Chains A and B, each alone.
Chain A
Amino acid sequence: MRALVIDDSRAMRRIVSTALEGFGYETRQAGHGQGALDVLQEGYAPDLCTIDWNMPVMDGLQFVSVVRANPAWRALTLVMVTSESEQGQIVRALAAGAHEYVIKPFTPDALRDKLALLGMLPQGVAL
């Protein structure tokens, strides 16, 4: 399975990518929503996107809205991974089309549990 990790922090991209690779994902990274759209438009077809909220150029909520407006990307699973933890923000993200919401700081186990709920763990990953 493939994942696109979208975060403006290189350190956080590394943390999320390392966790996903530990679950068996192949990962690519983008530093903001527009960069992620560029990767998708180049033809990269991930199963999962993890998306930070506050990013320059294009934020995570805008990215979710653009992806959800394009039928070609309907199968893409979108998980917000962000320090935005107000209830209202979570509702906004889910209403825009995100499937799940992981609040930073998180542990790899918490991310794995969310992916398991979505049926997005590669086969063979222990719960």
Chain B
Amino acid sequence: MTLVPGSTRPVITALIDPATVEAIAGETWIALVGDDEVIVPAPGDLPADTLSAWVDITGPWTGSVVLTTGRQTAADLTRALLGEAAPELLDHEDVADAIGEIANVVGGNVKAALPGPSTLGLPEVGQAPAVRDPDDVCRLDVLWRGRPLVVSIQGTLPPLPTPHEHPYPNGASL
């Protein structure tokens, strides 16, 4: 198992693979967004104006499951999710609630695939949390209706310092 350097913490890619994340996201899309709605694994360029929703997982692996897409795509996702109940004019709260719930469902199922016990946080929406350790990321790029979305499962703990030799092996110091 791949560990975070210098620690006993496994990195996310040792615990879950993109195919599992894709299966989770695909099921979520069909159930929440619509029977005919599919996501296709393919990279795409996110627009400059993006919105992210994420849930935190705390346990043997600690990090966030982050869904990021363009604001217009997030609004269209919200309309698809709400169907006939969608208001004529969506406000930010509508969009935040909808994509937050998608992140919550994906995150809950990701958590179940990880070693436990773990706890799941409440959804948050805004600008995606920064990647703390590039080695502790499992990223899935998909297209929905031809538009890009990214699901990123990313550790929120910084990499531990790598053990290194004492510069003065005999214990001498300056």
Interface residues, chain A, CB within 8 Å of chain B?
Answer: 8-12, 14-15, 18, 54-56, 82-86, 88, 103-107
- Some 22 contacts from A to B, beta carbons below 8 A apart, are A9-B97, A9-B101, A9-B104, A11-B98, A11-B101, A12-B101, A15-B81, A82-B108, A83-B104, A83-B105, A84-B108, A84-B120, A85-B111, A86-B117, A88-B117, A103-B109, A104-B28, A104-B105, A104-B108, A105-B30, A105-B105, A107-B31
Bound CA–CA A85/B27 (angstroms) = 14
Bound CA–CA A18/B84 (angstroms) = 11
Question: Across the interface, do B31 and A11 meet the contact criterion of CB distance under 8 Å?
Answer: no
Interface residues, chain B, CB within 8 Å of chain A?
Answer: 27-28, 30-32, 78, 81-83, 85, 94, 97-98, 100-101, 104-105, 107-109, 111-112, 116-118, 120-123
Count of CB-CB pairs between chains A and B under 8 Å: 67
| Main secondary structure on A side of the interface with B | loop
Note all chain B residues with C-beta closer than 8 A to A12. Answer: 101
Given A11-B81, A55-B122, 19 extra CB contacts under 8 A = A9-B97, A9-B98, A9-B100, A9-B101, A9-B123, A14-B82, A54-B122, A83-B108, A83-B109, A84-B112, A84-B120, A85-B108, A85-B109, A86-B116, A88-B117, A103-B109, A105-B30, A105-B105, A107-B30
